[in-house]
Structure 1
Amino acid sequence: MVMRDDILHLFYPCVCPGCGSQLYADAEGICPECISAFDAFGDADASGYAIMELFRRNYPDDTLSGKAWALYRFHKNDRLQRVIHAMKYEGVSSLGKVFGRFLGEMIAGCGGDDLYSCVVPVPLHRLKVFDRTYNQSEIIARSVASVLRKDFRNDLVVRKKYTRSQAGLSLQERLRNVRDAFEPSGRAVPKSILLVDDVLTTGATVSAVKNALESEGAEHISLATIALAG
């Protein structure tokens, strides 16, 4: 299998979506130089504080009840944006596994793996899943759950309304866009949950999913995301 992959890589070389450089056969879809160039948070607590501040600012009466983690700060037109775009829209789903592993290792490293009983991805509408062939947040969440040895649950909340992209919308426009977009599936919801999304901008989508889970009994919801843009 390894020899076959090496031969395929020789004739069909892979390139890093962040910088365009050729990747070695054993690379995971992104080069080490790009990973080093991302604007990483200094530590897990710093990322959590930044996320909590965003929720306190945008939703003073509806903040997160658990903890929060982000790997990077998101900036427009940088390498990370190109990499995330490739993961979401260009079929490079393997990047979700890589980022999920990074997130899982961050959470485990600060003792956050005992704060919840399962890992839940932010759901996509079925038409978007059909178009992309996968939900990138689900791939990230599966990888996080694997690292932390927690149950992966994608059956607790459903995206019932097809919505346009949140990109470029104001906070109020985003809130209107996702209003009534999610509903509980009817299955029993655990008390403590780790919610996973790819990028956090205003928190409108995460807040809507969180409220759907809380309506069915979730009491402590933590959040993990690749990047914080807000």
Structure 2
Amino acid sequence: MKLQAGYLADFIALLFPELCQACGENLVAGEELICTDCRFNLPLTDFHLKPDNIVAQQFWGKLDAEAAYALCYFVKGGKMQHLMHQFKYKGVQKIGNLLGNIAGEQLAVSPVFKTVDLIIPVPLHKSRLRKRGYNQSACFADGISEKLHVPVLENNLVRVRATETQTHRSRFSRFENMQEVFWVNDPEKLKNKHVLLVDDVVTTGSTLEACGTELLKVEGLKLSIATIAYAE
């Protein structure tokens, strides 16, 4: 029966091949979501080994963050752009979990990130969540959680106001657009905790800054930041 099942699986794969979410080529046995070549060539930043990395520098003087990190560089037209498009707009949620696992393995060797108590994804407004069906930052958070063995806390940090897309806004306009957008529902759960705030892509950092500003109002809270990608 196992042999027959194997033949059936091979036949289905021949008719409906699974494709790499980064390059579009056929996956072979043992590969999942991303082919071996693309996984080997992910544009990793190694920011977990560089405390003064460019993402951390974005928040100097703005947020009292313990550390900040991005897993990969985001380059227009590159594989990460294709991967993120599949993840955010084509419903391939497992990409977030996979990238979260990779990030979690890196963060687990960092003395700073090893002290994280809770992981909080940047929330979507309820209208955006209904439309997309899932929060991409929460998928990434779940993947990190599996490797750091730290719980994910959703629905405490909430987005109370819907905002327009940030894509074509200037840095200052992005900052203005994010004012009074987030709220902490239950500060007691966060008191004296080291919180890892996670998002998908960081550009100017205005969204993360707005979230972090609210979180740091909680007594004794320490804040660190992790994202999937950094885009200049």
TM-score with structure 2 setting the length: 0.88
Indicate the residue corresponding to 1:209 in structure 2: 211
1:199 corresponds to which of 188, 198, 201: 201
- Paired residues, what number? 226
Distance 1:42 1:100 in 2: 14
Indicate the residue corresponding to 2:57 in structure 1: 53
Distance 1:127 1:38 in 2: 33
Structure 1 SS opposite 2:196: strand
| Deviation sequence 1:75-122 (CA, Å, 0-9, x none) | 111110110111011101110010000110000122344322111101
Inter-CA distance 184–6: structure 2 relative to 1 (3 Å threshold): farther
1:18 corresponds to which of 19, 22, 29: 22
Distance 1:64 1:5 in 2: 52
Deviates more, 1:204-213 or 1:64-73: 64-73
2:47 touches 2:70 (CA, 8 Å); kept in 1?
no
Deviation at residue 40 of structure 1 after TM alignment:
1.7
Distance 2:107 2:155 in 1: 23
Deviation at residue 9 of structure 1 after TM alignment:
3.4
TM-score with structure 1 setting the length: 0.89
Indicate the residue corresponding to 1:37 in structure 2: 41
Distance 2:81 2:220 in 1: 32
2:56 touches 2:69 (CA, 8 Å); kept in 1?
no
- Report the AA paired with residue 36 of structure 1: F
Matches within 5 A, 1:39-188: 39-42=43-46, 44-46=48-50, 49-56=53-60, 60=61, 62-188=62-188
Distance 1:84 1:209 in 2: 22
Deviation at residue 5 of structure 1 after TM alignment:
6.0
2:46 touches 2:71 (CA, 8 Å); kept in 1?
no
Cα RMSD (Å) of the superposition?
2.2
Deviation at residue 36 of structure 1 after TM alignment:
2.8
Inter-CA distance 124–25: structure 2 relative to 1 (3 Å threshold): farther
Inter-CA distance 5–120: structure 2 relative to 1 (3 Å threshold): farther
Deviation at residue 151 of structure 1 after TM alignment:
1.6
Indicate the residue corresponding to 1:219 in structure 2: 221
Inter-CA distance 19–67: structure 2 relative to 1 (3 Å threshold): same
Inter-CA distance 73–160: structure 2 relative to 1 (3 Å threshold): same
Deviates more, 1:152-161 or 1:24-33: 24-33
Structure 1 SS opposite 2:99: helix
Inter-CA distance 217–9: structure 2 relative to 1 (3 Å threshold): farther
1:171 touches 1:202 (CA, 8 Å); kept in 2?
yes
Rg larger in structure: 2
1:200 touches 1:228 (CA, 8 Å); kept in 2?
yes
Structure 2 segments unaligned to the other structure (5+ residues): none
